[in-house]
Chains A and B, each alone.
Chain A
Amino acid sequence: MSATRPLCFQDLILRLHQFWSEKGCAILQPYDTELGAGTLSPHTTLRALGPKPWAAAYVQPCRRPSDGRYGENPNRLQHYYQYQVLLKPTPEDSQQLLLDSYRAIGIDPELHDIRFVEDDWENPTIGAWGLGWEVWCDGMEVSQFTYFQQVGGIPTVMPSTELTYGLERLAMYVQGVENVYDLDFNGKGLTYGDVFLRAEQDYSRHNFELADTQMLLTHFNDAERESMRLAEAGVAQPAYDQCLKASHLFNLLDARGVISVSERASYIGRVRELAKDACEAWLAGEEETSHG
């Protein structure tokens, strides 16, 4: 990289694409439904299951309705980007690959303090867990590193390495910016705020004040029913799509504050059931194709 000028937001993504493309990853595009995390994309969740190798990298927009701050918090967003890499099976040099990718975006591990800090990752809504680390750079978590052990309640027969970069944080770090809305987006004067501030304000109102909770509830029930029906029919990814929709609808209901503490666990359990059924349907199809 040029030593004089830090990477703008979009160049950071391009640099990561370039790096992981050279390492043999399929560079995929964002999945087209609302997700709470890059992990939830079928490119990760479903592909982590079964015995077939897989290597992919993609940017995933993530939605966390209750993290909305009306555009007023310099660090929190209800919509943000993750850069997601899945490597299956786990490469011997997983850690080194991640460190090399940091060099590629201008972080020198001899000037910065890179640390692998214990993190037992778990996502109860999709019945997934793994062991790994938060990766710190100068005290800031810049990536999540997980060796998947279970997804959809099913043990991973071929464990994979999952790397998740928080792109805004990383960009703020590389650019030395303290407010996310000040990020240099394209190197030509456009800021992150120019692109997203209005949306953050409007979505915060939507998430906390306006979303029609009765409608959301109906949609949740519809998505749940449809997901079960589709899993039954053995079409895994469409069934999983409906599970993702249910998950997002739950997050919206949660942000609107209409889910009590005791109900929460039950909603999470319902989504987890859907994820499990979809994952099992996926695995059944994988076994058929590997035999046929």
Chain B
Amino acid sequence: MAEFFIELFSEEIPSGMQAGAAVELGNMLAKALSGLNPRDLRTFFGARRIAASLTVDAEIPARNVSERGPREGAPEKALAGFTRKHGVTPDELTLENGFWVLNKSLDPVSAESRVAEAVPELLWKFPWPKSMRWGAGSNFTWVRPLRRIACLLDGHVVPFALAREGDDAHGLKASNLSEGHRFLAPGPFEILSGQQWQEELETRSVIVDMDSRRDMVRTGVTRLADQHGIMVVQDDGLVDEVCGLVEYPVPLLGKIDAAFMDLPAEVMQVSMRINQRYFALRNPDGKAAPYFAFVGNLPFKDGGKLTTAGNERVLRARFADARHFWDLDRKTKLADRVPALAAVTFHAELGTQAERAERISKLAGTVAQAMGLDGAQIAQAERAGLLAKADLTTGMVGEFPELQGVMGGYYAVHDGEDEAVSRAVAEHYLPRGQSDDTAKAPVSVAVALADRLDLLAGFFAIGELPSGSGDPYALRRAALGIIRTIRDNGLRLDLSELFAQAANGRTGGELAKLPDFIAERLRVQLRSEGERHDVLAATLAGGLDGDLVRLLARTSALSEMIQTEDGRNLLAAAKRAANILRIEDKKDGPHTGAPDPALYTQDEERALATGLDQAVPAIETALKEERFTDAMQAIAALRPTLDRFFEAVTVNTPEPEVRANRLKLLSRFRETTALIADFGQIEG
């Protein structure tokens, strides 16, 4: 048993790549050293290094392996090729089960020689998302120049070099050296073990454990906020990013100049986060606090006074820029910006943003009408649809695209647009992601749906569908946005009709696939909520019901029904009937049409026929009136009748007319279940 340790010390690694690279390093090592039974994997990462430690066996033990060669009687050439490949003579082969086989006994391999062989190979092919060349001509690439490789087994250097065939690989070779903080502890130190490395780094001002860095940032920022009675806007992504930029996190607090506190809070936060990686803070009343938190890379000699002043100055310049856009943008009304959208291409085949604005406006009116909104609201939806994209031409959105909509909302308020219109301009991008809320205000909902309907119909009409992992126009997200907005608001809409409106006279392309696309997103969404996707598949079998609310109500009623004992048995009976029909229909089917009561020979047949005659109208009425549970009960009530039928009646009786009539009866039962769903899709 031995401790294996490796550190790859480089120039600064992009923050977002560090964690993935550490995982990759661990996986590759586990695979490359699999013969040594690797275990206790730990990985580390930071601004200038990735590292891993493992426990491994001292050696790969001696073992026998056999390699199967060509078939007995294969051409000479094949046999010669096999022996040459393994460097043996034909008389070293044996015949086993008709094949030539080479049985080799392999000597034990020490951990040291396995590591020395495997690690350079692994480093040459390490899959950084983007890597680079440097120096005078080596083709060894890394994410940024690799400066040191430390590689140890129980504290001893595993000797290897990266050089190979005429490439010196920058002269890189394994050592037992590492480096501490760039400014506080420059120069190398000796590593004895993984444990000692981590401790020594800490004394050299490098916190190499990510969780510890996160903790220092979180608690540090919170403590500073507490001192001023304010709160940090939680942002885990920012914490992680910052922790990849610093080796020794030192949270500090800066002041925001009062002259900028009237900027929209979103503008301040985006500017701070995107440009500066600063944390935003809030007063207890939820309003922006006149402070920001940032994380320095070392405990400064002056306690951070100079750097805080510097960061405050940078932020003033940033906010001065933002103020410039804020003031300038408000000089032109959003409505007056709409014509300028004609210069912004949306997509070569789908026209400009101006054309899109027209389409969204019209469609928003249609949706509003379908939602049953009043005339004033319909007009508001049309107005908001027209203005929704106008903020794309503002300086602020040009600078911060993530403020699309938010800025439009502010500018609409400034222009004196109706409250509902301004709100819809701001909210029509909702939901922006899985965890984001959907729009709730009726006019906002109409515009949010119109925006996505136009997007989907447009791209489906020109055949630009998402493929596998590629979804450049975020059509899946748009579909999900529609589904979530409809569900959250319980909207009774006919999506098929709205798709037709959104197609705007266009036909062809892949438009016909749109309902299936929505159905698929719905399936994915329900599955992620832990719902049974097979039950949905059963209710979807007849095609997507454009009224998602109705579809889901039917699905959940079915879901409940098949969990009852009657439901489970009914399901089994339906499957049994379907099986019999499938087999018998192949012989001389189909067996459709009304059964002839004169041909019933047993009471159980008559009882089933009567049951069905009563159930069908009851189910149809219940479905029409959307009393789905009643519909389910009506069919589940057939269960005892069915049980008795299957117990007492032999469908495949020798008399052909009676048999055909019984099959017709089963067929009628199947048609009845089909009113509810395709039971064949339901598992179990």
What residue in chain A is nearest B352 (Cβ atoms)?
A: A261
Complex contact A149–B132 (CB within 8 A): yes
What residue in chain A is nearest B278 (Cβ atoms)?
A: A139
Contact of B339 with A by CB under 8 A: no
Which residues on the A side are within 8 Å of B276 (C-beta)?
A: 139
What residue in chain A is nearest B47 (Cβ atoms)?
A: A116
Complex contact B11–A116 (CB within 8 A): yes
Chain A's nearest CB lies how many Å from the CB of B610? Answer: 71
Which residues on the A side are within 8 Å of B136 (C-beta)?
A: 89, 158
Q: Which of B133, B184, B317 is close to A75, meaning CB atoms less than 8 Å apart? A: B317
Complex contact A260–B343 (CB within 8 A): yes
- Contact A178-B316, Cβ < 8 Å, known A110-B183, A110-B298: yes
Contact of A138 with B by CB under 8 A: yes
Q: CB-CB contacts of A50-85 with B at 8 A, as 1s and 0s? A: 000000000000000000000001111000000000
- Contact A75-B310, Cβ < 8 Å, known A109-B183, A110-B298, A147-B132: no
Q: How far is the CA of A156 from the CA of B134 in the complex (A)?
A: 10
Complex contact B314–A159 (CB within 8 A): no
**For A90, A113, A137, which residue has the most chain B Cβ atoms within 10 angstroms?**
A113
Complex contact A110–B301 (CB within 8 A): yes
Contact of A111 with B by CB under 8 A: yes
Q: Which of B15, B317, B345 is close to A262, meaning CB atoms less than 8 Å apart? A: B345
Q: Which residues in window 127-176 of B have CB below 8 A to A?
A: 130-137, 143-145, 147
Q: How far is the CA of A94 from the CA of B144 in the complex (A)?
A: 12
Secondary structure type dominating chain B contacts: loop
Q: Which residues in window 330-372 of B have CB below 8 A to A?
A: 343-345, 348
Contact of B306 with A by CB under 8 A: yes
Contact of B321 with A by CB under 8 A: yes
Complex contact A110–B300 (CB within 8 A): yes
Which residues on the B side are within 8 Å of A229 (C-beta)?
A: none
- Contact A111-B345, Cβ < 8 Å, known A75-B320, A89-B136, A118-B14: no
Q: Which of A116, A149, A157 is close to B12, meaning CB atoms less than 8 Å apart? A: A116
Q: How far is the CA of A109 from the CA of B182 in the complex (A)?
A: 10
What residue in chain B is nearest A75 (Cβ atoms)?
A: B317
- Contact A138-B310, Cβ < 8 Å, known A75-B320, A110-B300, A261-B344: yes
Which residues on the A side are within 8 Å of B302 (C-beta)?
A: 111
Complex contact A261–B343 (CB within 8 A): yes
Chain A's nearest CB lies how many Å from the CB of B556? Answer: 48
Q: How far is the CA of A138 from the CA of B302 in the complex (A)?
A: 14
Chain B's nearest CB lies how many Å from the CB of A140? Answer: 4
Q: Show 15 residue pairs from A and B whose CB-CB distance is below 8 angstroms, ordered by the A residue.
A: A89-B134, A89-B136, A109-B183, A113-B296, A113-B307, A115-B245, A116-B11, A118-B16, A131-B130, A131-B144, A137-B310, A138-B309, A140-B317, A156-B133, A173-B313
B residues sitting closer than 8 Å to A (CB atoms) are: 11-12, 14-16, 47, 130-137, 143-145, 147, 183-184, 245-246, 276, 278, 294, 296-298, 300-302, 306-307, 309-311, 313-317, 320-321, 324, 343-345, 348
The 4 closest A-B pairs by CB, nearest first: A138-B310, A118-B14, A116-B12, A139-B311
A residues sitting closer than 8 Å to B (CB atoms) are: 73-76, 89-90, 92, 94-95, 109-118, 120, 130-133, 137-140, 147, 149, 156-159, 173, 176, 178, 260-262
Q: A158-B136, A178-B317 are in contact. List 18 more A-B contacts (CB 8 A).
A: A74-B317, A90-B145, A94-B145, A111-B306, A112-B310, A114-B297, A115-B245, A116-B47, A131-B131, A131-B143, A132-B144, A138-B311, A147-B144, A158-B137, A173-B310, A178-B313, A178-B316, A262-B345
